[in-house]
Amino acid sequence: MIAFVVAGTASGVGKTTVALALMAAFRERGYVVQPFKCGPDFLDPGHHSALCGRRARNLDTWMLDGQANRTIFESSRDADVVIVEGMMGLYDGVSGGTEEGSTAEIAKLLNLPVVLVLDAANSARSVAAVVKGFETFDAGLLFAGIVLNGVSSSDHCRMLEAAIREVTTTPILGRIPRDPSLTIPERHLGLHTIEEQLPNGQHAARLAEIARQHLDLNPLLATSSSGLENSSAKNQTRVKPPLSGKPCVRIGVARDKAFSFYYEDNFDLLGECGAQCVFFSTLADFHLPSNLDALYLGGGYPELYADTLSSNQRMFADIRSFARSGKPVYAECGGLVYLGRSLALLDGKVSPMCGVLPLEFEMTAHLVQFGYVDIEFVADCLLGEKGTTLRGHSFHCSRLRSSPSNLPTVYQVRYSLSRHSEPEGFVHKNVLASYIHLLFRGNPEVAVSFVEAARRYQGAEVRV
């Protein structure tokens, strides 16, 4: 099996474009490609999944321990090629002073070589110094190739290659020329989601064409990785299967253009605990799927589809009835906003939301409390007992506009960047909703608790 990490010298140098081009190239040759993304990103994995025909998964050494990352990586055992897209710069971690949470840490943990991406648009011989610095900074890393992004011409490329060959024997895999058609549009939370792209295959075809014309895959085909071989099956961090005779529970999951921010491994883990995830659309469906035992509402872009969400009163009614039934409802970020009373947009328009929670929200022009968080449960809740700890990620451009002072919270969260600590995790009867995105594998007992809560209410009647 071939496996490697696509990393950059910094954010914005073209990692995603190069990773997608390599995925498209290997797919075109008939290989089964399994994509991964380093860090808590939701948007890049969506594009990976669509291109590879397999769900991308997240690796994260800050939210997860080493064995949990190996467990997630095990999902690629049946693939021919594994491509892991890094985050930020190769050596950039949670804090400026350590490698914790960095792409480099993940590459070393899984024993994966690195394909280094450089933005060469405005570079000449100095690019060689950058390559040499990155290669010698950490002797624990192995480099499998170099890709030059944004190269203006063949002559420019030859000049860059000549300079780089003076300082390294790492293969130069080629270049990505300047091409506006390769750019994926962005907005306030990053790239447009794959759900918003036209399903015509033109972007994938163009990526494959670029790779065919300008990238040499042969040095990568000559490599192999022992990353999976070092993941002993007997040490996998897996939840014990449900006891024999326990019924499967059905968890309804909102998944569409408005709600698409989910960690794929969360679904895997819920499945290990005895749950079946049943997907539905808050935009296109008028009713919840039948015979659900719990609801899971993830993050996304409810603000972009506020009119459509608000007009779907039958779905609102179903969700309110479900919440009144006593069955568990768990929501994150956009799902939290959706369960509130209203959302005020930046243009001043206020859109009604479900009204399950007595909360009002408003959009902001910038990210609010962005970054990783430490969480402790200060009371028993849907996801576990008081004292439970785990880590998550905050990623939103909205905030509470008003809330009752007596609405209980069960999280105490501490933000890694601002060091600010505050109560969070809003509880209303059987509903738990928060701005924090959780990667359940960081503490698998939260998935166990969620499924067991659904099982306790299994068969309860939902009145519409």
pLDDT at 234 over 50: no
The arithmetic mean of pLDDT across residues 235-250, rounded, is 60
**Both ends of the chain: CA-CA distance in Å?**
52
Of all residues in the chain, what percent carry a pLDDT higher than 70?
Answer: 89
Query: Does residue 196 have a pLDDT over 90?
Result: no
Task: Name the residue with tokens 């009163």.
Answer: 313
Is 277 catalytic? The answer is: no
Q: 411-425 pLDDT, tens per residue?
A: 999 998 888 999 999
Residue 191 has what pLDDT? Answer: 54
* Backbone CA torsion sign across 409, 414, 417, 419: positive
> Does pLDDT of 143 surpass 80?
yes
Whether residue 77 is predicted with pLDDT greater than 50 in this model: the reply is: yes
Q: What is the pLDDT of residues 89-138, one digit of tens each?
A: 999 998 777 899 999 999 999 999 999 999 998 889 999 999 999 999 99
Catalytic residue among 273, 333, 354, 381: 333
Specify the pTM.
0.90
Find the range with the poorest average confidence among 239-243, 299-303, 332-336, 407-411. Answer: 239-243
Are 247 and 458 in contact by the 8 Å Cβ rule? The answer is: yes
Identify whether the C-beta of residue 217 lies closer than 8 Å to the C-beta of residue 26.
yes
Q: How far apart are CA 56 and CA 39, in angstroms?
A: 12
Output the pLDDT for position 403: 74
Domains of the chain: 2-234 (3.40.50.300), 247-456 (3.40.50.880)
* Distance of alpha carbon 271 from alpha carbon 226, whole angstroms: 28
Q: What is the pLDDT of residues 3-60, one digit of tens each?
A: 999 999 999 999 999 999 999 999 999 999 999 999 999 989 989 999 999 999 999 9
Other residues' Cβ atoms within 10 Å of the Cβ of residue 349: 10
